[in-house]
Amino acid sequence: MGRWQPNARGRLEQAALELYGERGFESTTVAEIAERAGLTERTFFRHFADKREVLFGGAGQLDELLATAVAAAPDRATPIQAVTAGLDAVAAVLNDRRDFACRRQPIITANAELRERELIKLAAWAVVLADALHERGIDTSTATLVAEIGIAVFRIAFQRWVDDPTAADLRDLIRASLDELKALAADVPGDPGDIRP
């Protein structure tokens, strides 16, 4: 094996996804991933801290992208429009990695530890969004509410995107989910006393 291997990270990702799909996440070892990729374990650990990181790598870059996009939203943007700008920025990156995202999701769904890690990632995104809104002058309570709504919208849109191979653009599904939310909000009565059994 040569000392220099082009696209080692991509090869390791590909090998890991194949093995996770064939054997399951828990039954796959780092040694097997490295062997499948034609690389060494040492090379694996240059790129990933552990085998979970294959599925969660780049989280810090996405956090930064979210915050930057919210900050760059026009001054006249409402809080939900600013959050949507952040989600759109992340969706653009994910659109370019559609195959990876679609192959990754069933692996996450099949493993309780990975599902928990995914929820932690989404909770961290909500904090990033809320902080970015707060920087725009939105009060903490409103910023937190809008950020959590944004993450809920993203989760629904993302699941639809990975479940539907004909859905080309995640941003379109985010917009559709927001439209559904607006329609539901329009049906909410102004006074809870208006609700009749």
pLDDT for res 190: 63
Residue ranges of domains in the chain: 8-54, 58-186
The residues, any chain, with a CB within 8 Å of residue 66's CB and separated by 6 or more, are 86, 87, 89, 90, 125, 128, 129, 132
pLDDT for res 138: 97
Which pTM does this prediction carry? 0.86
75 burial level (CB within 10 Å; 0-12, 13-18, 19+) = exposed
Is residue 79 within 8 A of residue 138, CB to CB? The reply is yes
Query: pLDDT grade, residue 5 (50/70/90)?
Result: low
pLDDT in tens, 147-170: 999 999 999 999 999 999 888 799
CATH number of 58-186: 1.10.357.10
Question: Which residue in the block uniquely carries the two structure tokens 């493993």?
Answer: 111
Give the residue-averaged pLDDT of 96-125.
94
pLDDT in tens, 113-153: 999 999 999 999 999 999 999 999 999 999 999 999 999 99
Is residue 70 within 8 A of residue 85, CB to CB? The reply is yes
C-alpha to C-alpha distances, 102 to 27, 121, 181, nearest whole angstrom? 21, 17, 25
- The answer, yes or no, to whether residue 197 has pLDDT greater than 60, is no
d(Cα 185, Cα 83) in Å, to the nearest integer?
18
- The answer, yes or no, to whether residue 4 has pLDDT greater than 50, is no
pLDDT for res 3: 46
pLDDT for res 29: 97
Q: Place domain 8-54 in its CATH homologous superfamily.
A: Homeodomain-like (1.10.10.60)
pLDDT in tens, 29-79: 999 999 999 999 999 999 999 999 999 987 789 999 999 999 999 999 999
| Type of residue numbered 63 | D
